[in-house]
Structure 1
């Protein structure tokens, strides 16, 4: 059974945030009276087609007071008038709406639960996503790895199309901290949308990794690269493989318990070479076998 807070959140997210301003403000007052917080308000507001930006939404939220004369009943009544019940399935926000809510927000230490729910709703890489990886001479990661596929992901530019969606987790704890998205064209080629690759706004990247193969596969060795495609190309020879996202994370990869051998794909640019050398030296000092493999430059 839903808690009172979850019930109020479900009712709010059932409603259209693109309503007129008076209704928007009244619903916000009701949401605050129901115990919802600023994050709920910002994400819901960002889903409206007439969203005025986070600064305005924050200011309006601060203006709500207990003496406003609007109670939680207003929220539930409005939702029920549009057909909502406690049994109604939760409304899924578009990735674009959630992206707008991330703008100008301090970086989160962990992945927003709404984004985590979105990622968990996706299936394994297939169809166009599979064709894209095969065209890049990539090995396909296992279904229980942290790479999935969304056939209709919304880009901040408004473009909607197929997208590889990777979960970024803390390299040591495995806690989800962000998402990395790679849009592709309908024919499986590299996407023309700009930029084709994006990390979530408002989430930390430092110390993150994309576990293309789960930890259970790390019985002896590990292969790493900056980008997803580079890591999966390397995986045709060396498995399991992880993508480190960028040179900064690769260069700081700590020595992992139970991993006796490390294979590093070296991007052919100064930052990539420096990061690979730094990582290799750290692991070699801990008596681990290290192999460096030169590759062409490829961003995550």
Structure 2
């Protein structure tokens, strides 16, 4: 407690009644005006008290620090880092091809947007081979981001958490992975959420693209010139809802739409069980 009447007019430094550590710990600044009014403020703990001769002392809640929001940078198109990484990738081979073959996926053509990086660093610090897929806007074809899957030489996923990652700070909404190039897409197209599911659908239907997740598949827009759409749907609530939303949109645009059905979670599970 501050004994205000002990101080003359002017500025003083004294021990804070809230956080003081002894008589020599003078973190409290105290000012007395000529009319007897005073104000005190601790420079360590922000304790504040005011004083008026007719009202006495009045403690005040310390002001809350103002926190300035820092906006995370969001790249609307692929960053320079992403472009350099994509340029450093190679055609599918080695551990990347082994991974797809182990999952009984169809290997996409070399001119599709799925490649291989032999020594890609994971945020955990581990470095190893990875599948790298270019994500482009479904309509404008602008490069948006990269999708990476770390794998091992024996064809299994790498022991990292998580084994799949998108580039941070990049937009993926409205994006697809063109596993077959645009030139291969004429009257029909097959789509699925994940790369492996799309490449499982590819045994029965090509060309195929991956939409990355259920949200992107649900929002996949009708594209000019494509008259038939085949959807490799995941058998879970999100996958079923996404497939139905996409199917209705394309049907309303006068396209012929087919949606797969299976008791397993996705088409790739069927292939693995059959093998």
Given the alignment of the two structures, is residue 192 of structure 1 paired with residue 153 of structure 2, yes or no?
no
RMSD across aligned C-alpha pairs, in angstroms?
1.4
Q: Say if 1:218 and 1:258, in contact at 8 Å, map to a contact too.
A: no
Q: Say if 1:226 and 1:243, in contact at 8 Å, map to a contact too.
A: yes
Structure 2: stretches of 5+ with no match in the other structure: 1-69, 267-275
Given the alignment of the two structures, is residue 232 of structure 1 paired with residue 199 of structure 2, yes or no?
yes
Partner residue, 1:212: 179
Given the alignment of the two structures, is residue 144 of structure 1 paired with residue 93 of structure 2, yes or no?
no
Given the alignment of the two structures, is residue 169 of structure 1 paired with residue 136 of structure 2, yes or no?
yes
Q: How far, CA to CA, are the matches of 2:177 and 2:130 in structure 1?
A: 16
The higher radius of gyration belongs to 2
Partner residue, 1:114: 81
Q: How far, CA to CA, are the matches of 2:151 and 2:252 in structure 1?
A: 41
Given the alignment of the two structures, is residue 246 of structure 1 paired with residue 213 of structure 2, yes or no?
yes
Partner residue, 1:56: none
Structure 1: stretches of 5+ with no match in the other structure: 1-102
Shift of the alpha carbon at 1:104? 7.0
SS at match of 2:261: strand
Relative distance call for 1:130 and 1:270 in structure 2 (3 A) is: same
Given the alignment of the two structures, is residue 132 of structure 1 paired with residue 95 of structure 2, yes or no?
no
Q: Say if 2:86 and 2:134, in contact at 8 Å, map to a contact too.
A: yes
SS at match of 2:233: strand
SS at match of 2:216: helix
Q: How does 1:1-300 map to 2 (within 5 A)?
A: 105-294=72-261, 296-297=264-265
SS at match of 2:229: strand
Report the TM-score, using the length of structure 2 for normalisation: 0.69
Q: How far, CA to CA, are the matches of 2:154 and 2:71 in structure 1?
A: 35
Q: Deviations over 1:124-160 (max 9, x none)?
A: 1101111110111111111111000011110000111
Between 256-265 and 285-294, the greater mean CA deviation after superposition: 285-294
Q: Say if 1:251 and 1:278, in contact at 8 Å, map to a contact too.
A: yes
Q: Deviations over 1:175-219 (max 9, x none)?
A: 001000001122111222110000010001111100011111111
Q: How far, CA to CA, are the matches of 1:104 and 1:268 in structure 2?
A: 37
Q: Say if 1:108 and 1:204, in contact at 8 Å, map to a contact too.
A: yes
Q: How far, CA to CA, are the matches of 2:99 and 2:245 in structure 1?
A: 32
Shift of the alpha carbon at 1:122? 1.3
Q: Say if 2:145 and 2:172, in contact at 8 Å, map to a contact too.
A: yes
Between 109-118 and 226-235, the greater mean CA deviation after superposition: 109-118
SS at match of 1:245: coil
Q: Which runs of 4+ in 1 moved over 6 A?
A: none
Report the TM-score, using the length of structure 1 for normalisation: 0.63
Q: Deviations over 1:4-35 (max 9, x none)?
A: xxxxxxxxxxxxxxxxxxxxxxxxxxxxxxxx
Relative distance call for 1:173 and 1:151 in structure 2 (3 A) is: same
